Structure 1
């Protein structure tokens, strides 16, 4: 897997190196990294994967996360890498406010225990930019979360998980859903007392290609099963054409 770098036409900015320009994910125009990985100056490992989910929509994608897939459904989602799956907190039918407790492989790496805590997109994006993107159709789904490494991951005083950031930003097209998945590993580990050099050490760059492939694979697998599952589980509110 080739490490993709910024080109001369789109230089790296101080904001991207120091924090990350979340609002840029709301713009459908090609980014310098759509699929690839790189180390930011802050020590954070940025991993990106674009997946074309044919036949899917943003509504389907949001529904899937809100359905809180259990161990069986989690295996359907990625039959190679996904293992244990349980959920805590939040409200049924909605991902925001819930925590997904998982064990999974990242493309051949040993089992990883992770906490994925889903947050409101308002935490990540400028309100006006996010609202405009939804209204224009540039964004049809946004599943955003904090990622903790280990089921006992460090937390803030308010209980929110520290470790990394996960963003799945989708856009509906005529053929299906364009899914941008971006991960910022080690994003807030400095809050746990780590320096950029320590973050760089804690978050091994070898995770880059493994996580990239895992993300592409899991949403390719999901695209094959999501449309019929969504139709079957929402048949009371859908008009379903007969195949005959």
Structure 2
């Protein structure tokens, strides 16, 4: 499923849309958010998703919008890929929704060689990508793949922290299921796009405020931090 639009996220150069939302010709809603996560790294971001926050810690992540968090699918301490985050959350004032986020291998979204080169060069230092659906019991393909939207969180480390690009394609699978652009638009509204921009910016800003300290504490047995004094 790799395509040129996804592939552009591997290049640090500014994109035409870094923060905002747009309507694609298919009716799919493309939402983009850039968040500067000071003192964080891509390594920390990937670890956060492997840590698999329970409801208490999920609320730390966004004290306003997040409601509940459980996990299912393939659970491994070594990777977030294959796991599914089952959540209930609000979106910046909109009513609460149930979601399943199914984390996938980046090579489902990106050309394998280009992705490997981006990781090797430091253009990408963290990648969280997946499929999502607005339901706790989503429609799936025969292989278990969730049908719905797509999300991509691509991190790049800088001298001050991590520049995070979050891109969402709401209703991504609907055109292939026979929905017209108008029908897709009815399900993936501009109001939701506006709310998602704010929600994604807020949640990763909240996360950046405690993730560095949490990461240090959880890794002190293998990477003892230097005391600030």
TM-score by shorter chain over 0.5 = yes
1:60 corresponds in structure 2 to 44
1:81 aligns with 2:68: no
What is the distance in 2 between the residues matched to 1:180 and 1:201? 26
Count of aligned pairs between the two proteins = 226
Conservation of the 8 A alpha-carbon contact between 1:67 and 1:92: no
What is the distance in 1 between the residues matched to 2:76 and 2:54? 13
Deviating above 4 A after TM superposition, structure 1's stretches of 4 or more consecutive aligned residues are none
1:46 aligned to 27, 30, 43, which one? 30
CA deviation after TM superposition for structure 1 residue 34, in Å? 0.2
Instruction: Flag the 1:194–1:20 CA change in 2: closer, same or farther, 3 A.
Output: farther
CA RMSD of aligned residues (A): 1.1
Q: How does 1:175-214 map to 2 (within 5 A)?
A: 175-214=160-199
From the two aligned structures, give the one with the greater strand fraction. Answer: 2
State the TM-score, normalized to the length of structure 2.
0.96
**Secondary structure of the equivalent of 2:94?**
coil
CA deviation after TM superposition for structure 1 residue 20, in Å? 6.1
CA deviation after TM superposition for structure 1 residue 197, in Å? 2.6
Conservation of the 8 A alpha-carbon contact between 2:26 and 2:175: no
State the TM-score, normalized to the length of structure 1.
0.90
1:128 aligned to 109, 113, 119, which one? 113
Any gaps of 5 or more consecutive residues in structure 1? 1-18
The higher-RCO structure (CA 8 Å, 6+ apart) is: 2
Instruction: Flag the 1:91–1:153 CA change in 2: closer, same or farther, 3 A.
Output: closer
1:10 corresponds in structure 2 to none
Conservation of the 8 A alpha-carbon contact between 1:108 and 1:210: yes
What is the distance in 2 between the residues matched to 1:192 and 1:84? 30
Any gaps of 5 or more consecutive residues in structure 2? none
1:221 corresponds in structure 2 to 206
